[in-house]
Structure 1
């Protein structure tokens, strides 16, 4: 019988000893997430997982938004107090992975059953990769959509191009109504660019002033300054919701995961359509959402617990429940048949989710996260009239390089 190496033996002991110790001493697996709105559902998943076995105790901790969570994780990594599992937005993990702060999970992924690996959309896997290695495990996946006030716009804008959207906004606009909401938000702007056949990255380098980016920002600026669109700060959620409900604004670019929140707005009948597509032959959408990572230095037993919990979350029936609760897209194809009844009641969400068939991961280079504020500043400066769209994007590109 071959002898086990000391490192392999240590890893095996780390995983098996908690079980031998019995249910009284489960390994604590802290999970930081950015899902404040559905933290009750996540707590329930953790509770059910903990009851299903006696090796691990998953402890979920809501940490605010993605933008709130990242600096907290960076601080925890410096102080040696990082959780065993954390949720990061797709553009956030590459810099940490490049800096050696995240665990390479490639071996774990390679050992997964083929039925699970192949059931997850390839673009979703790729969204958690850097340099050919897996640093992120998929879970919450979103696609961009065009939400609309169905009390004002009675027919669905499904199939609209950006040209059609501008023409429709011109017909709906009045002295008090600016139909389209424009925000300085990088992901929906990237979707705007990709829907025109363009990209904000080329060969791993920034392309923030690409022809398609200029075309997109020029249109948004033209519509804003011409009374067809209204700029809204990302911090002005309450005001935007109020104006959307009363019909001052009619169209908003958003994540499909915002659908549940939009439906809670009083006196609003909200509709959802796939994202506008300017060039059908080259149209795609960027994946949104986050990936689950294991910080570097996580003890073997905690890492095993984090991986076991992820596999628990990936069960098709659990993913179907997650989709119904959040409107996120399932990363696994096999969960879709379990959603037939729900889709029958929500056909617009079915159409929105179908976009995952033409979805692509966002740029995952170590500095891609730094492009986000540069893009958002360019949007703000252009639609606010402080700079021309070209000057704003050129400045962003120069800063990104």
Structure 2
């Protein structure tokens, strides 16, 4: 009888053991601190699941580590990836469909934002940190010259030139794919059309010619992907006075960096037919996760999306509010500083910046072309034609 009761006790103990969900993420502070708090609170709030969060570097470093882990058979069950990775993850049979676990989802989620996690009609990722770009500028420098924040691309070039001095440039150009896509989309173009690279489209070529003109004319400095972190340093140290970046850079600038000037925030200039690139991070449950782990991952996301928790997340990261229910909780956040509303005004022009599975393969040839043009003064059209040929060759492999 004692053995019987001991068996029940041991069996009950094992039954109470939570299902572990290893979660790899790429969030930097201050978002990382909120995430760690959400994970700890979720784990305390229930006994069925235990999320084990691990920071694996930035988005590109995380991607390299994930590929290695997948090859070695020790990948996590939950991964925080950029929205552009969803299509590739589905094509490579890495991400699990999650629709069957999303029953009873509140109706107040913004459908357009939830679409960033859908591919070919099914949900493979759950959005958490979505953002749009804005124009950051040195408000003191513009005020000293009686300049208004530029509302058109022509005005941006003119203001950049007027801000330029012997020791500083008016604008900083970062030649990574997302930053270039921001300019292309806002000017009415797109880098991908019908699943194929669209690098030689006139609007894409014109966008690169525009950026090269700023750099050649001395009104802008160019930073490549390896130097991207220095773009923020240039801005903070007043070596440049304007730059386009995701809204989520704002809390890093204001909370983590002593800025010796008033920060200005304005909409990105848009041409007729222009769009704003919606980007950011979402959660993907990877192939190999058990059904219990998939359910637990969705339960964790639902917990994260509770209005009070989501409101704290938005206040900290400046990410877009994913639910209408959270907006009343954010009233003071927007009233205290109306500049924070700038990004909300751009939602009507927002479009996921890319969901094409092949786009992740095309990053390298396109960024090589951008650097050759903006650093080496190559002809934009010829560089983009070569990038297109390389991208098509990678597609055929």
Please, what TM-score do these two structures have when normalized by structure 1? 0.88
2:212–2:373: 8 Å Cα contact kept in structure 1? yes
Asked whether 1:141 is paired with 2:133, we answer: no
Local SS of the residue matching 2:346: helix
Aligned to 1:229: 220
Local SS of the residue matching 2:310: helix
Change (3 A) 1:310 1:20: farther
Which deviations, in whole Å up to 9, do the C-alpha atoms of 1:32-59 show, x marking residues without a partner? 1110223221111011111111111111
Aligned to 1:11: none
Map 1:112-191; keep pairs closer than 5 Å: 112-113=104-105, 116=106, 118-154=107-143, 160-191=151-182
* One of 177, 183, 186 as aligned partner of 1:192: 183
Deviates more, 1:349-358 or 1:308-317: 349-358
The runs of 5 or more residues in structure 2 that have no matched partner are 1-10, 393-397
Asked whether 1:27 is paired with 2:19, we answer: yes
* One of 84, 97, 105 as aligned partner of 2:90: 97
Change (3 A) 1:186 1:215: same
Shift in Å, 1:211: 1.5
Distance in structure 2 (CA, Å) of the matches to 1:305 and 1:207: 40
Distance in structure 2 (CA, Å) of the matches to 1:156 and 1:374: 38
Aligned to 1:265: 257
Change (3 A) 1:243 1:296: closer
Change (3 A) 1:102 1:239: closer
Shift in Å, 1:385: 3.2
Shift in Å, 1:174: 2.1
Asked whether 1:71 is paired with 2:60, we answer: no
Local SS of the residue matching 2:140: coil
Shift in Å, 1:63: 0.9
Distance in structure 2 (CA, Å) of the matches to 1:57 and 1:137: 19
Aligned to 2:47: 54
Q: What is the root-mean-square deviation in Å for CA atoms of aligned residues?
A: 2.1
1:146–1:253: 8 Å Cα contact kept in structure 2? yes
Aligned to 1:7: none
Shift in Å, 1:239: 4.4
2:313–2:319: 8 Å Cα contact kept in structure 1? yes
Change (3 A) 1:205 1:233: closer
2:101–2:295: 8 Å Cα contact kept in structure 1? no
Distance in structure 2 (CA, Å) of the matches to 1:157 and 1:91: 34
